Structures are given as structure tokens and as C-alpha cells.
Amino acid sequence: MMPKILLVNPPIYDFAAYDFWLKPYGMLTVAGYLRGKADFMLFDYLDRLHPFMAEQKGLESDRWGRGRFYGKRVPKPKTLSAIPRYYRRFGLPRDIFKSFLKREGPFDFAFVQTTMTYWYEGVQEVIEDIRRVRPQAKIILGGNYVMLCSGHAEKLGADFLVEGTNLEPLWKYLGVSPDPKQPALWEVYNKLSVGVLKLSDGCPFNCTYCSVPQVYGRFKSRPLERSLAELKILCSLGVENIAFYDDALLFEAEKCFMPFLNEVLRQNIKVNPPHIRRINLHTPNAFNARFITQGLAELMVRAGFKTFYLGFESASLQWQQCTGSKVLCDELAQAVSRLISAGAEPGNITAYQIIGHPHTGAGELEATMRFVNSLGIRGMLADFSPIPGTPDGEYCRRWVNMDEPLLHNKTAFPILLLGFGEVNRLKELQRQLNSTVVG
Ligand code: B12
Ligand code: SF4
């Protein structure tokens, strides 16, 4: 008999959360390797197409499939009491999950997705409920929080943790052998309008604030055939918007990204039914301006990219050099001009700029914001989240207890460093600057 596996994407406890193309992609990838070898059921607390969401007001998607989550105010944890913002639980109500567990169980295993390190309270809630209603299910955690804070995650009471990218121990634990050619298990959703793809793993840079190099190692492309098969599955399910989760999407583009886009165009892969429209592609995880050639910009626009997020962080050369030199000012300016001449709308091009990083002063950030605005594109303040094990995260131990993941919270850290008033002033300035951007 095939094992019965429950997949759970937990609710989020945070000051803010927004569905910026969020999907439990690591868990769906692992489930995909077991396609046909296990019986799967999904409970995604963040699924905005769940029937409960249709009854709520103000949660409609924007034109690219993003939108607000259902949320309720909850007491703030003591650790975050100094932060003058409301704390909320985002996602479907807990009772819906409990009824689901009673109705659909028993399960042999429960996979639980973990994402931001400071979102572990949602994971804790899910473990509690599974233990109470389905005590015989073996609970398995995987994802970013487990990889970055394994010592902390061990205390949540799961049965098994996937602590790295090597999945061999997991296959042994499950007693099932995987099929690595299989794409992610998207068909486990009843209804889907947004999907995710990842064409590669790792990154060739070594930015001092980022955990990717230490977790994923050197850059490696994923097999093209598998990525194309996954895109076709997404299209057959009626997905209209697809976000790329790659960390270095454009690195060595001629080996992976360009062949992928050329195939998409050659095979004319579109949504199903085909008369609806073309799929819209997005890069919320940012790509590197350095690698945008004119030809690549044109190919991206032709293949269906609609929103373009560029990782910029700071216009200060000194800051760029001491954090890893991933991109310089003239490279951003050149990328923007290439994207615009390829047909991208300036209002759909956004540069991320880091706020609350321990080596960025407010004056320097203001200069960065004005530089980005001078290019005619939007800026977005990316609140700094200190990550344990990275040089910059370790440096932050002088301000916060890095062994408590709640203190990695991206809303909290900039406020602790710069003050609430200063953070608000900078965010207001960003709004004003963006209001001048055309399109
Ligand atoms: C995509 C992404 C996003 C997306 C959203 C993702 C989401 N679903 O929530 C967007 C762009 C919105 C985003 C935003 C941010 N992000 Co981000 N993001 C990522 C990224 C690239 C992938 C995360 C992911 O989905 N991984 C899952 C998939 C892609 O992983 P996989 O390799 O296929 O997984 C394998 C194994 O890990 C394992 N596995 C993974 N999951 C599971 C689950 C189970 C059950 C099992 C069994 C196995 C398993 O199996 C897989 C197969 O080998 C990571 C970096 C990275 N490469 O991991 C950063 C990362 C998670 N983000 C990070 C940061 C800093 C942020 C921001 C704070 C940036 C900012 N300042 O705005 C914001 C925070 C958003 C918020 N609301 O708080 C940090 C982590 C911070 C932290 N403290 O946890 C990371 C690690 C990047 C970094 N700089 O180091 N992010
Ligand atoms: S380029 Fe991006 S993914 Fe790579 S190390 Fe720097 S921040 Fe991380």
C-alpha cells in the first residue's frame, strides 16, 4: 500500500504579510519526486483560492495574481514587545484545519513547509494540531527555517528534519525511492492561478547578508526538460502568473535561462485553454542587473516577463564593495535602459534597496532612493532580516539575540536599529518618490 502523506503550508505570525506569489515550493518539489508513489493531500493555510477566502472582502488579487491574506490580530510575543506595530496571524482559521484533519485522516506522514526563520510560530501551531488530532502521523519539517536554525527547530517536537539539500536521509526515513525527473506536485491544488518555477540552485556571489551560498553552494542549473515539463503542468492547471524563485536566474543565462525561454517561445507554451492569454512571468526574488544584455532583455519581454525586480540594495560604492560587489550603480542604470528599450514598462521595474542593514546609514539610503528614482523606475525598501551564520547576521548579535529567530523579523530589526520614526519617514519618502514614476 502507498503511504498517505499530508502536505501543510502553515499560517504566518508577523506584523505584516502579503501574497507576493508565495507558494510552498520546497515541499511541492519533494512531493513531486514521490509522484505516483504516495497518496497526497494538501492543506495550504495561505491558499487565497480556498472557498473560505471567497467569502472575505478585500482579498481580491491584483492583475498579476498577488493580494492580501486573511488575517486576525493576536497578542505580540514578549520578545517583540518593543515594536510599536500590531501583530497578526495570517491564513485560514485554525478550525478549518482541525476539521480537515478529522475528516481526511489518518495519515502516515505529514510534511510541513517552513519558510522565514521568524515564522516558526505557525509551524508550532500546525505540529500541535496534528499531534492532537492525528497522533500517529510522523511529522517531517523541511525548508529555510529548518536549514538555518536546526537547533531551534529540533525543539518544536517534529519527528524528522530535512536540515540540508541532501534528501537521501528523507528517502530512507520514508522507505520510498524518489524519481528525481518528476516536477513539483502542483496538481495537488484544487484550483491554482499562480505558480512558481526555479531553473537553478545556488549563487556564484557571496554577499555578506545572505545565506544562499552557504546553504546551496556553487551555482547549478536544474535539468531543462524537467523545468519545461513543470511549466506545462502549470499551464494545464490554468495558471496565469508564474514567479521565478531562482537566486541567480540570469547567471550563465546562455546555459539555462535563455534555452528555457527560447523553448517556451518555440513550443508556444500558453495557458490552458489556449485562447485565454499568455502567461505572465515575474521575478520577485530579484535578478542581477549585471547580466542583462540587450538581447536577454528582449527575450525576457517576448517570453512574457511583466514585472522586473532588481537586487540593488545600495548606491554606495563602499557598501557594495564591502558586502560582495554583486552590482554597481552604472550596471543598474544600463540594465534599466535595456529593459525599457526592450519594451518593459518603467512602472513595472523595481529596484530593491536595503533598509536597516547595520552598515547603511539613513543618509546613504536616501541617496540610494534618489538614484533609483532618477532612473525613472520604482524603488522598494527591503527590510533587513539578520540571518544567523552570515557575516552580517553574526555582527547583529550586538543588538539582538540571534538564537531567538523571532528577532530576525524584517519589520523588527530596522525599527530596533533606526527607530520607528526614522523607518516611517524613509518609507514615506519612498512612497513620494514612487508617485513620480510613470506607468
Ligand atoms: C522565494 C524567496 C522569497 C519569496 C517568497 C517565498 C515564500 N514562499 O515565502 C519572496 C521574494 C517574496 C521573498 C521575500 C523575502 N525573503 Co526570501 N527567499 C526566497 C528564496 C529564494 C526561496 C525560498 C523557498 O521557497 N525555498 C524553497 C525551495 C525553493 O527550496 P528547494 O531548494 O527546492 O528546497 C529543497 C530543500 O530545501 C528541501 N525542502 C524545502 N522545503 C521543504 C519542505 C519540506 C516539508 C521538505 C520535506 C523538504 C523541503 O527540499 C527541496 C529539494 O531539495 C530563499 C533563498 C533560498 N534559495 O532558499 C530566500 C530567503 C528565504 N528569503 C530571505 C529574506 C531575507 C527575505 C526578505 C526578508 C527579503 C526582504 N527584505 O524583503 C523577504 C521576507 C518576506 C516576508 N514577508 O517576511 C532569506 C531568509 C530570511 C530569514 N530570516 O529566514 C532567504 C534565505 C534568502 C537570504 N537572503 O538568505 N523571499
Ligand atoms: S547575489 Fe543574491 S543570492 Fe547571491 S549571495 Fe548575493 S544576495 Fe545572495
pLDDT digits 0-9 by tens, 327-370:
999 999 999 999 999 999 999 999 999 999 999 999 999 999 99
CA distance 179 to 233: 17
- Taking a C-beta distance cutoff of 8 angstroms, is the pair 89, 74 a contact? yes
In angstroms, how far is the first alpha carbon of the chain from the final one? Answer: 56
Residue type, 197: L
pLDDT of 277 > 70? The answer is: no
Counting from 1 in the atom list of ligand 2, the atom nearest the Cα of 286 is 2
Q: What is the DSSP string of 75-115?
A: PPPGGGTTS-S-EEEESS-HHHHHHHHHHH---SEEEEEE-
* pLDDT, the chain, mean: 96
33, 115, 174: residue to mutate for ligand 1 pocket, most atoms within 8 A of CB: 115
Predicted confidence (pLDDT) per residue in 53-104, tens digit: 988 999 999 999 999 999 999 999 999 999 999 999 999 999 999 999 999 9
CA–centroid distance, residue 42 to ligand 1 (Å):
20
pLDDT of 195 > 80? The answer is: yes
Counting from 1 in the atom list of ligand 2, the atom nearest the Cα of 206 is 5
The mean pLDDT of 248-263, rounded to a whole number, is: 97
- Find out whether the beta carbon of 143 lies less than 6 Å from any atom of ligand 1: yes
pLDDT of 275 > 60? The answer is: no
- What pLDDT sits at residue 141? 98
CA–centroid distance, residue 203 to ligand 2 (Å):
6
CA distance 18 to 46: 10
Predicted confidence (pLDDT) per residue in 43-65, tens digit: 999 999 999 998 899 999 999 99
Q: Give pTM, 2 decimals.
A: 0.98
CA–centroid distance, residue 401 to ligand 1 (Å):
22
Predicted confidence (pLDDT) per residue in 220-254, tens digit: 999 999 999 999 999 999 999 999 999 999 999 99
CA 330 vs CA 106, 203, 206, 341: distances in Å: 58, 22, 20, 17
CA–centroid distance, residue 284 to ligand 1 (Å):
11
The mean pLDDT of 129-137, rounded to a whole number, is: 98
Which residues sit opposite 308 in a β-bridge? Answer: 349
The percentage of the chain sitting over the pLDDT mark of 90, rounded to a whole number, equals 95
Q: Note the Cα 227 to chain centre separation in Å.
A: 18
Give nearest CA residue, ligand 2 atom 2. 247
